[in-house]
A and B are shown apart, each in its own frame.
Chain A
Amino acid sequence: MIAIDFFYLLVGLLFAATAVMNLRDRSNPRRFTTASFWGLYALVYLVGERLPPLAAGVLMVAMALVAGLGPVRPGKALALPEETRRASAARLGHRLLIPALAIPVVTMIGSTLLKDVQFGAMPLLDQKNLTLVSMGCGAIVALALACAITRASPLQGVREARRLIDAMGWAVVLPHMLAVLGLLFSEAGVGKAVAEITTSYIPMTSRLVACAAFCIGMALFTVVMGNGFAAFPVIAGGIGIPVLVGVYHANPAVMAAIGMFSAYCGTLMTPMAANFNVVPAALLELPDKNAVIKAQLPTALPLLGVNIVLLYFLM
């Protein structure tokens, strides 16, 4: 079976390579802090579940301190000059698109056609992480195709991956750490506290106020938690079911659908949804880490208004 652990190992090796390459890069004035940051992250993937929880917690705090206090900096850029890349693009043409498109194609084949394929009693792909494992296979197929088309070695692929990881820096771990914070929030009962406050202090005396409180509550709570899935149970349980369905007899399907979309408006507006908003800014090498959020505000805010109106008339 192709299990997710195989890809954890690959990512661990990639981070270890990033650490070693940075350590040996004398042009980087922060090579020791940078290398220790990626080295620590490599441990999370290489040792993984064998790490005792306490040690993993200490490791996470250490990573955060290294990233926050001793800057993590990219090493020297090893990119080819633009002229060379242009010549190569002219020579290879549309063939360059094949590996890039192989990733989604293999992911789709894996998660649909190969879903139920079995070897003996074992499924071919890890059933619990079907999409991720399919995508991992897609990435390996894409790397093989890219090596064949560009006549480069897989080691060059690792060097290029290190260049991209370096360019993103600590933004790579932000979504991971925010997910941890989200789990801690739910363990500490933050959701219950928010529901308590919203339901006790907002008067749900008119239908429109209730609709607005529900949609805005979803969006705001998502802004704070960074994830609509965390907001939905709290606000649906606090306002949606008791007030909209209970008092105003809303259709639960409408309440749920528009509620979740209101939460997504919140996702577009928050740095807490780092993998959608902060990581792409780093990936596109934008100096302003909030540039993507700023580009999304003119869509998210009017859409939230539209949601309130739709809920009012459809529920």
Chain B
Amino acid sequence: MHTAVNLWPLLGIAVVVAGFLLRAHPVLVVIAACAVTGLAAAMSPAHILESLGSAFIKTRNLPLILLLPLAAIGLLERAGLKEHAQASIANIRSATTGRLLTVYLFVRELAAAFGLTSLGGHPNMVRPLVAPMAEAAAEARIEARGGRLDERLRQRIRAMSAATDNVGLFFGEDVFVAFGAIVLMQTILRAEGLEVDPLHMALWGIPTAVSAFVIHAWNLRRLDLRILKEAGARQ
């Protein structure tokens, strides 16, 4: 090929893939990938460090979403927020883990589609409320039959709670016209000489958004069946 593109920086990707496959410490993998990518692009070590440093300062707004709610959430946890969430859900007899998470998925996805992306999130909704409620619903079900929720299933339920938040957010927000992704797509297509109406991009996202809901709700139903099986096995 008559190429002028430098392919060597791809080594950085190779380092990332190898690092994760070898289960090396992720933070060290990132630093190694930075070093390899920079060197492969013929940057000097000082230049690499400067690029890393200015990028590190520039992106320090990222962890704020995670960090800012922690003091309030921690206090509420100390005062029994998780226990309260669990006690409330255990009183609703028709509540199952799968149904509860499906309702959360629906609300999260719909809210995100209307631009309300902050209605949810891992530190302020999933950890203190959604995951404890999902666990309590399974516990109520299994303990009603005299069993105990085993640790592996408990962890699976927690992971599913986090997954439900992600799926709802991702496939809801892109249906919202003013969302960053739509603006980004419009800008990029315009640079290539294609003028696209943001409303059309949002509308054509709906079939996938609906499919995401159906597929994930089906997986949540499978989780319910697994909990039911566990409850039956302990009878």
Known: A54-B46, A287-B155. A296 touches B163 (CB 8 A): yes
**Interface membership of chain A positions 164-192, coded 1 if the CB is closer than 8 angstroms to chain B and 0 otherwise:** 11000010111111111101110111101
26 residue pairs of the A-B complex, CB under 8 angstroms, read: A11-B67, A14-B67, A52-B53, A56-B52, A56-B57, A60-B53, A67-B27, A68-B27, A90-B80, A99-B72, A100-B125, A132-B65, A161-B70, A180-B59, A190-B13, A224-B16, A229-B181, A232-B184, A232-B185, A251-B200, A253-B201, A253-B203, A264-B170, A268-B170, A280-B166, A294-B159
Q: Are B6 and A189 in contact (CB under 8 A)?
A: yes
CB distance from A136 to the nearest CB of B (A): 5
Q: A96 to chain B: which residues have CB within 8 Å?
A: 76, 79-81, 84
Chain A residue with Cβ nearest B212: A303
Q: How far is the CA of A283 from the CA of B209 in the complex (A)?
A: 27
Q: B70 to chain A: which residues have CB within 8 Å?
A: 14, 160-161, 164-165
Which of A82, A87, A184, A299 interacts with B55 by CB under 8 Å?
A184
What would 5 more interface pairs be, CB under 8 Å, given A111-B118, A260-B185?
A8-B64, A54-B46, A64-B28, A94-B84, A296-B167
Q: How far is the CA of A146 from the CA of B192 in the complex (A)?
A: 51
Q: Are A179 and B53 in contact (CB under 8 A)?
A: no
Q: Are A306 and B211 in contact (CB under 8 A)?
A: yes
CB distance from B48 to the nearest CB of A (A): 7
Which of A53, A85, A287, A302 interacts with B54 by CB under 8 Å?
A53
**Interface membership of chain B positions 198-231, coded 1 if the CB is closer than 8 angstroms to chain A and 0 otherwise:** 0011111101110110011001001000000000
* A-facing residues in B67-97 (Cβ within 8 Å): 67-84, 87
Q: How far is the CA of A252 from the CA of B61 in the complex (A)?
A: 33
Q: Are B159 and A291 in contact (CB under 8 A)?
A: yes
Q: How far is the CA of A229 from the CA of B211 in the complex (A)?
A: 22
B25, B33, B211: most-surrounded residue (chain A CB, <10 A):
B211
Known: A161-B70, A192-B5, A252-B194. A152 touches B64 (CB 8 A): no
On chain B, which size bracket covers the interface? Answer: 35 or more
Closest 4 CB pairs of A and B: A160-B74, A89-B80, A56-B53, A57-B49
Q: B13 to chain A: which residues have CB within 8 Å?
A: 185, 190, 194, 224
Which of B124, B162, B222 interacts with A104 by CB under 8 Å?
B124
B233 touches A (CB below 8 Å): no
CB distance from B219 to the nearest CB of A (A): 5
Q: How far is the CA of A177 from the CA of B54 in the complex (A)?
A: 12
Chain A residues packing against B (C-beta within 8 Å): 4, 7-8, 10-11, 14, 44-45, 48-49, 51-61, 63-65, 67-69, 79-80, 82, 85-90, 92-94, 96-97, 99-100, 103-104, 107-108, 111, 129, 131-132, 134-136, 138-139, 142-143, 145-147, 149-150, 152, 154, 156-161, 163-165, 170, 172-181, 183-185, 187-190, 192-194, 196-197, 200, 224, 228-229, 232-233, 236-237, 241, 245, 251-254, 256-258, 260-261, 264, 267-268, 271-272, 274-281, 283-284, 286-288, 291-292, 294-296, 298-299, 302-303, 306-307, 310, 314
Q: Are A179 and B59 in contact (CB under 8 A)?
A: yes
Q: How many A-B residue pairs have CB under 8 A?
A: 438
Q: A86 to chain B: which residues have CB within 8 Å?
A: 80, 83
* A-facing residues in B173-211 (Cβ within 8 Å): 174, 180-181, 184-185, 188-189, 192, 194, 196-197, 200-205, 207-209, 211
Q: Are A188 and B41 in contact (CB under 8 A)?
A: yes
B148 touches A (CB below 8 Å): no
Q: Are B204 and A89 in contact (CB under 8 A)?
A: no
Q: Are A146 and B75 in contact (CB under 8 A)?
A: yes
Q: How far is the CA of A61 from the CA of B201 in the complex (A)?
A: 41
CB distance from A241 to the nearest CB of B (A): 5
Known: A179-B62, A253-B196. A146 touches B155 (CB 8 A): no
A4, A63, A65, A233: most-surrounded residue (chain B CB, <10 A):
A233
Q: Are A188 and B38 in contact (CB under 8 A)?
A: yes
Q: Are A299 and B159 in contact (CB under 8 A)?
A: no
Q: Are A129 and B61 in contact (CB under 8 A)?
A: yes
B156 touches A (CB below 8 Å): yes
Q: A164 to chain B: which residues have CB within 8 Å?
A: 70, 73-74, 123
Q: A299 to chain B: which residues have CB within 8 Å?
A: 163, 167, 212, 215-216, 219
B142 touches A (CB below 8 Å): no
B66 touches A (CB below 8 Å): yes
Q: B33 to chain A: which residues have CB within 8 Å?
A: 181
CB distance from A139 to the nearest CB of B (A): 4
Q: How far is the CA of A165 from the CA of B57 in the complex (A)?
A: 20
Q: Are B66 and A172 in contact (CB under 8 A)?
A: yes
Q: Are B167 and A257 in contact (CB under 8 A)?
A: no
CB distance from B87 to the nearest CB of A (A): 6
CB distance from B177 to the nearest CB of A (A): 12
Q: Are B129 and A229 in contact (CB under 8 A)?
A: no
Chain A residue with Cβ nearest B118: A107
